[in-house]
Amino acid sequence: MSKKKLIAGNWKMNGSLAANQTLVQALVQGLREPDCDVVVCPPAVYLQQVQQLLAGQTAIGLGAQDVSQHDNGAFTGDASAAMLKDFGVRYAIVGHSERRQHQGETDVHVAIKVKRALAAGITPIVCVGETLREREEGMTEFIVKRQLSAVIHLNGHCISEIVVAYEPVWAIGTGKTATPEQAQAVHAVLRAQLKAATDQADRVRILYGGSMNATNAAELLRQPDIDGGLIGGAALKAPDFLTIVAAAA
């Protein structure tokens, strides 16, 4: 497949002005011109700082960790797609399992957020994934297809513009990782679902998230339907993140 792989770093609720500067400078120095697309997603309060740190280079794009389902108005704490665009944001993580779990986001909320991001010219990274109980009960395929189906239903032919990230909930921050075979099996299901929805399905990159790290990245990224990674903990350590980017390239 000719499309470039994508490595996205989700910093989650981590960072400080000093730590961010050290991390981004190390990434910019270490990357030069990577053979894959690279994006970092800092907390919203640091978007302006990271935008400035990334100025003048093209190797790393800026992403947000969420986007509001509303355009503007009385939604305290939200940031709209247009606001993110003001800061040069090119990607937005949507529907991460932590937001589904802690903020009560539903499949419908996620689908609307995808629509808002696309309308603003921001590429949504749409997260899907099952819990350990759902996997043990044989529900994996049903869950991820239901989650992606809501996004397809609301966004129609625009679906070719999204990125999908498969993140098994049981493997996020736990140190457990789906085997390359387990991950590839779910990615193949998602690819087939996208193919049924659009003739541009091969353009859609499907990332694996869930404890991808410097040690296991190369093996995961060799799978035919794994087009990159959504990286959590390892994205906060420049050497580890650079190793993953090198594996993708």
User: Among 3, 28, 23, which Cα is nearest to 11's?
Assistant: 23
Quote the distance between the C-alpha of residue 242 and its chain's center. Answer: 17
Q: How many CB atoms lie within 10 A of CB 66?
A: 21
Residue 207 main-chain phi, psi, to 5 deg = -95, 155
- Look at the alpha carbons of 61, 144, 216, 213 in this order and tell me if their dihedral is positive or negative: positive
User: pLDDT digit of tens for each residue in the chain (249 aa)?
Assistant: 458 999 999 999 999 999 999 999 999 999 988 899 999 999 999 999 999 999 999 999 999 999 999 999 999 999 999 999 999 999 999 999 999 999 999 999 999 999 999 999 999 999 999 999 999 999 999 999 999 999 999 999 899 999 999 999 988 877 787 899 999 999 999 999 999 999 999 999 999 998 899 999 999 999 999 999 999 999 999 999 999 999 998
Which domains does the chain carry?
6-248 (3.20.20.70)
Q: For the chain, what is the radius of gyration of the CA atoms?
A: 17
User: Among 144, 120, 24, 130, which Cα is nearest to 69's?
Assistant: 120
| Cα 87 from Cα 226, distance rounded (Å) | 29
From the candidates 96, 98, 105, 187, which is the catalytic residue? 96
Q: Is 56 exposed, middle or buried (0-12, 13-18, 19+ CB in 10 A)?
A: exposed
Q: State residue 113's pLDDT score.
A: 98
Q: Which pair of structure tokens corresponds to residue 63?
A: 């992403």
167 is catalytic: yes
153 is catalytic: no
From the candidates 98, 167, 187, 219, which is the catalytic residue? 167
Q: Is 164:205 a contact under the CB 8 Å cutoff?
A: yes
| Cα 167 from Cα 232, distance rounded (Å) | 11
